[in-house]
């Protein structure tokens, strides 16, 4: 059964899927004087046996699942790999996790969580792929502190990835694309960066946003970043 066939059985609560919610939800706890309503709970430890039927940690991370087309299709494509999604919007996270649980998709799970609060509950050098696809852009400079991708999170991703592990990044905002490139270029000793122009180098299911961009003939931008190790700082597998 396809993603589209599955979600038809689960009407999204409310009249429409809101792209943005209260801005303070996007900030890390350390920057908040008062915790707003519906702020995602902080996590210090996760019992993988409570998330995945095989009880083992994830190999893939999906940062910002949205309505879950990509996450579910990745789970179907790689049934032997657990994929953990993070979604900051509570309604979306709970709706998507209900679909996963009810449909019995054993290798996928969605946590309602703000990734800016850290990923210390994931062991180092255990993640093969991290997906950061069409995030809420916060394009204005004064709003940049609400972006998930920062030097701090890239260093955290580097800690989590196996040697040769990859980050997949996409956006349809050219300014944000340039921002992503600048961040990665500042960590050129940790990541090899490649801008993707052909679909053969991007063999992934399409997100809802990517489908929308292609339907509207709107340009979007793709980046692959591979973790460098001592043995491949001068060579890469791209």
Look at residues 221, 214, 45, 14 and name the one whose alpha carbon lies nearest to residue 118.
45
DSSP category for residue 159: H
Closest Cα partner for 119 from 62, 148, 157?
157
Distance, CA of 205 to CA of 188 (rounded, Å):
28
Cβ-based neighbour number of residue 43 at 10 Å: 17
Question: Biggest alpha carbon distance in the chain?
Answer: 52
Provide the token pair at 4.
């589209």
CA atoms 216, 218, 224, 225: torsion sign: negative
136 is catalytic: yes
**Which of 62, 136, 172, 203 does the annotation list as catalytic?**
136
Active site residues: 136
């Amino acid at each position: 059964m396809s993603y589209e066939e599955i979600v038809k059985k689960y009407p999204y609560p409310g009249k429409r899927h809101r792209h943005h919610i209260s801005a303070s939800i996007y900030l890390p706890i350390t920057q908040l004087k008062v915790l707003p309503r519906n702020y995602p709970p902080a996590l210090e430890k996760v019992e993988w046996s409570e998330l995945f039927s095989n009880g083992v940690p994830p190999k893939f991370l999906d940062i910002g699942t949205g309505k879950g087309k990509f996450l579910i299709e990745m789970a179907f494509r790689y049934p032997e790999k657990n994929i953990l999604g993070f979604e900051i919007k509570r309604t979306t996270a709970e709706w998507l996790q209900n679909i996963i649980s009810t449909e019995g998709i054993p290798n996928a799970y969605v946590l309602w969580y703000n990734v800016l609060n850290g990923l210390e509950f994931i062991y180092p050098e255990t993640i093969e792929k991290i997906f950061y696809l069409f995030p809420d852009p916060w394009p204005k400079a004064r709003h940049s502190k609400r972006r998930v991708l920062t030097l701090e999170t890239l260093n955290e991703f580097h800690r989590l990835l196996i040697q040769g592990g990859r980050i997949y990044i996409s956006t349809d905002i050219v300014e944000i694309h340039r921002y992503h490139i600048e961040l990665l270029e500042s960590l050129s000793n940790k990541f090899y960066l490649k801008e993707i122009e052909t679909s053969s180098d991007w063999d992934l299911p399409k997100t809802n946003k990517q489908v929308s961009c292609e339907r509207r003939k709107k340009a979007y931008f793709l980046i692959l970043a591979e973790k460098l190790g001592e043995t491949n700082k001068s060579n890469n597998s791209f």
